[in-house]
Structure 1
């Protein structure tokens, strides 16, 4: 089984152990809406995506905004349900994480990440 991880290239830190992709219209549309929770080591990569919202969600999330080179151009922490995310320049995709993951890692704007598969 293929295991997809989110890795901070600059620090070599694994940010999330299990990344799901939302790459079709319907998977991007649904996102995390109506889900009960997100696994502590999980993440959702939404591409293409320039902005997010947390309507119809039941829990808080952290968000990483990426440009086309997968460089972090924006971060939002602990966004509560029912909110609209900030707008950042040059965003091409978004990573949604459980609340607290940004703070528990050394992830900052300007760093690059990789989404890597592993057997």
Structure 2
């Protein structure tokens, strides 16, 4: 799947991986060596994260039930606890430095890879 900023009509990530089960959320990015520059991990349900046992920094998008961005963290380093955003219902983790053209209040969408934006 692709992750799209539907407010601005831009692609955020070409390869979105879903982590929607308990075990896939639990494992997340722990112990991974890195993350491809065009990848993202969608954790749902999820309202907060940590980077314990991670080996690289990440950018984080917190979204509500309507996929509106309610929080953003850039360059969250390994061994840290992410922010707490009251209305967040899911979280998207991306390689550090990925988020350039995204703001709180933007809406994100999930699309099949071959689907046009």
Q: Give the structure-2-normalised TM-score.
A: 0.95
Number of residue pairs matched? 114
Corresponding residue to 1:24 among 21, 24, 37: 21
Corresponding residue to 1:69 among 62, 66, 69: 66
Task: For residue 118 of structure 1, report the CA deviation from its aligned partner.
Answer: 3.1
Q: Which runs of 5+ in 1 are unaligned?
A: none
Q: Where does structure 1 differ by over 2 angstroms across 4 or more consecutive aligned residues?
A: none
Partner of residue 107, structure 1: 102
Q: Give the structure-1-normalised TM-score.
A: 0.94
Task: For residue 54 of structure 1, report the CA deviation from its aligned partner.
Answer: 0.1
Q: C-alpha separation between the residues in 1 aligned to 2:18 and 2:62? A: 15
Corresponding residue to 2:111 among 88, 105, 116: 116
Partner of residue 5, structure 1: 2
CA RMSD of aligned residues (A): 0.7
Q: Contact between 2:54 and 2:78, CA under 8 Å: does it hold in 1? A: yes
Q: C-alpha separation between the residues in 2 aligned to 1:98 and 1:39? A: 7
Partner of residue 37, structure 2: 40
